[in-house]
Amino acid sequence: MKQPLQKLIASRYGGRNIPAALVLPDGGRVALSKTPEINIYARTWNGLRALASPELGRLARAYVHNDIDFTGEARRVLGIAEALVGTVVHGRDHATARLKHWWHAARGNRANIQHHYDVSNAFYRMWLDERMVYSCAYFKTGDESIDEAQEQKLDHICRKLRLSPGERFLDIGCGWGALVMHAGERYGVQATGITLSENQHALANERIRAAGLQDRCQVLLQDYRDLPGEAVFDKIASVGMFEHVGLKNLPTYFGAIHRWLAPGGIAMNHGLTSIDPESRSVGLGAGEFIEKYVFPHGELPHLSLVVKEMGAAGLEVMDIETLRLHYAKTLSHWSQRLEANLDAARAHSGDKRLRIWRVYLAGCAHAFERNWVTIQQVLAVKPGDPARNPLPWTRDYVYR
């Protein structure tokens, strides 16, 4: 069994000049170019089989289970892994790209969020910025540090929403409270954040108290569907949250935003979207890996579906900004920072979870660079007086 598999490895990749060497379970080494940059180790025969018939999802699973391993940084390995897989029509491979419709029960959503976020605050602190903003940063030149770019993102959102002192502001899926605190401190709003992560809830409120902002900022441990009231907020932001909602629940989600928003209010949905018009999952097996290990029951709608459902809920879409390349750079920063702290991160997460995060961050950076997935900020208003627009005539106000 061993020799045919080794021959298959050599014949499959021969002549493709891939800058890697494959180290087999028996110690044999197959160089795929004259100057290999990294070693990819098949630790087990399952790992060798994954390399003999590769797809990104299968290789990622093999790495998570320690059937394969590699030297070098995960970002570089992902590029080489794509070369191993070869040319596939990304996002439209019908063997893996299929519509998924899940019913997201509130209990299921809470479990899904906690699976992803309740790892360890210390783990996230190692590779996020100083404010622990776990969403796409905003780059003006591309040369900013991740700390600078995340502060620019927080301010970009606040300026888009035209936050003013005394306004009631809601942040749906608020993470560790960075936007809530920025809006309360810099713009003087009464800011409320909601999250389903117990770790995020505890640390966010601890930070609010430490900054002396408890008179204008609060973070609640609450599902968005359980938030009561009508017309109780002047401005609403949702940043990196609606990926967890599910396609079937988009009407409920945007309907809730419409219900909470006062007439003439402004809302912004910042979230990942599919490049596939039918909102199908990422191909090459990557979608299945993300579903199993990272975001259980996560679904990405196409932008056209987002606009349709916002309009159906009574929200008038006014502006759309695509941040795909911003997120590619953000994820690259995160991946590099994690790679620089592997031993410390392993102590907080364990080896298997660290392997998941190495693949996930590097793979997502790769996916955004390749335009396999994208992200938009969609700005909308709840109509009040039809003769008045709560936004200025041009976008100049965002950049002053």
In this predicted structure, what is the pLDDT of residue 378?
98
Question: Which pLDDT band, with edges at 50, 70 and 90, does 97 fall under?
Answer: very low
DSSP 67: S
Lowest-confidence region among 97-111, 323-337, 357-371: 97-111
At residue 322, the pLDDT reads: 98
pLDDT score at 269: 98
Give ∠ CA 60-64-68 in degrees, rounded to 5: 75
**Assigned CATH topology for domain 2-85:** Nonspecific Lipid-transfer Protein; Chain A (3.30.1050)
Determine the pLDDT at residue 292: 60
Percent of the chain with pLDDT over 70: 85
SS (H, E, C) 274-336: ECCCCCCCCCCCHHHHHHHHHCCCCCCCEHHHHHHHHHHCCCEEEEEEECHHHHHHHHHHHHH
The mean per-residue pLDDT over the stretch 357-380 comes to 91
Which of left, alpha, beta for 287 (phi over 0: left; psi -120 to 50: alpha)? Answer: alpha
Task: Give per-residue pLDDT as tens, 2-15.
Answer: 566 667 777 778 77
The answer, yes or no, to whether residue 140 has pLDDT greater than 60, is yes
Please compute the mean of the pLDDT values over residues 168-197 and round it to a whole number: 97
Count CA atoms closer than 13 A to 373's CA, side-chain side: 24
Q: How far, in Å, CA of 333 to CA of 266, rounded?
A: 31
Is 364 labeled as catalytic in the residue annotation?
yes
Domain boundaries, the chain: 2-85, 106-399
Between residues 186 and 274, the one the model is more confident about: 186
- Are the CB atoms for 279 and 247 separated by under 8 Å? yes
Q: Band of the pLDDT at 100, cuts 50, 70, 90? A: very low
Least confident range from 12-16, 30-34, 146-150: namely 12-16
According to CATH, the superfamily of the domain at 106-399 is Vaccinia Virus protein VP39 (3.40.50.150)
**What pLDDT, in 10s, does the model give residues 339-354?**
999 999 999 989 999 9
What is the average pLDDT across 68-77? 93
Report which of residues 174 and 387 the model is more confident about. 174
Q: Does position 307 have pLDDT exceeding 90, yes or no? A: yes
The pLDDT, as a whole number, for residue 203 is 96
Looking up tokens 């888009």, which residue turns up?
160
**Least confident span in 107-121, 189-203, 312-326:** 107-121
Looking at the predicted structure, is the pLDDT value of residue 291 above 90? no
Catalytic-labelled residue, pool 136, 158, 174, 364: 364
User: What is the pTM for the complete model shown?
Assistant: 0.88
pLDDT score at 284: 53
Confidence of residue 265 (pLDDT cuts 50, 70, 90): very high
* 97-100: long-range contacts, CB 8 A cutoff, minimum separation 24: 97/276, 97/280, 97/281, 97/282, 97/283, 97/287, 98/280, 98/281, 99/278, 99/279, 99/280, 100/247, 100/281, 100/291, 100/299
Which residues 6+ apart lie within 8 Å of 98 measured at CB?
Answer: 280, 281
Beta strand pairing status for 29-31 and 20-23?
A: antiparallel
Copy the structure tokens of residue 209: 């108290």
What average pLDDT does the segment 268-277 reach? Answer: 93
Given a contact cutoff of 8 angstroms between Cβ atoms, the answer to whether 232 and 168 are in contact is yes
Q: Are 331 and 150 in contact (CB under 8 A)?
A: no
The whole-number average pLDDT for the span 4-31 is 81
- Round the average pLDDT of the chain to a whole number and report it: 87
Q: How far apart are alpha carbons 350 and 41 in whole angstroms?
A: 21
